[in-house]
Amino acid sequence: MPEFQTTRHVNHSAERMFDLVADVERYPEFVPLCDSLIVRSKRENEGKTLLIADMTVGYKGIRESFTTQVLLNEEEHAIDVKYVDGPFRFLDNRWRFRPDGDKACTIEFYINYEFKNRILGAMMGSMFDRAFRKFAEAFEKRADEIYA
């Protein structure tokens, strides 16, 4: 079961970083391996937004699509991603944005997943591991471009 966790300090507010990560439809523009992301449904209730989204990832000739449920909690600066359907046995992804003053924050990123198929897991596992290790960095770079 591959698992990755990182904490990064960035010079952007928790609100801005939350907004950047919550804007899932823009992921294909800058997120490693993300070929497409389509939001199937969106429901808002009591300051929280629940998305159902299909993401397609690819590397060389391999393409896989999967569906997730994304809970955006703006008040708590938290994003929780749960697996719905696709090539995984499970996928659990969490983002937390902790304010450090007005113009900075600490980002906590966690992901844990396992492919259903061992062969696919062997082929894509190391590539996914490298990509997930670059996720937080990709968002920080994107924030620098947008908010600089």
Encode pLDDT of 119-133 as tens digits: 777 777 677 777 777
Q: What is the mean pLDDT of the chain?
A: 90
Specify whether the CB–CB gap between 87 and 116 falls below 8 A: yes
Q: Are 17 and 104 in contact (CB under 8 A)?
A: no
pLDDT in tens, 73-90: 999 999 999 999 999 999
pTM above 0.85, yes or no: yes
Q: What is the pLDDT of residue 53?
A: 98
Residue 76, pLDDT score:
97
In the block, which residue shows the tokens 């999967």?
66
pLDDT at 121: 76
Examine the pLDDT at 69 and tell me if it is beyond 90: yes
Give the pLDDT confidence score for residue 125 in this predicted structure.
Answer: 67
More confident residue, 91 or 136: 91
What average pLDDT score do residues 107-127 get?
Answer: 82
How many CB atoms lie under 10 A from the CB of residue 32? 17
Q: Using one digit for the tens of pLDDT, what is the confidence trace for 24-57?
A: 999 999 998 899 999 999 999 998 999 999 999 8
- pLDDT number for residue 59: 76
Q: How confident is the model at residue 115 (pLDDT cuts 50, 70, 90)?
A: confident
- Per the model's pLDDT, the better-predicted residue between 115 and 12 turns out to be 12
Residue 99: count other Cβ atoms within 10 Å of its Cβ: 14
Domains in the chain with CATH codes: 3-147 (3.30.530.20)
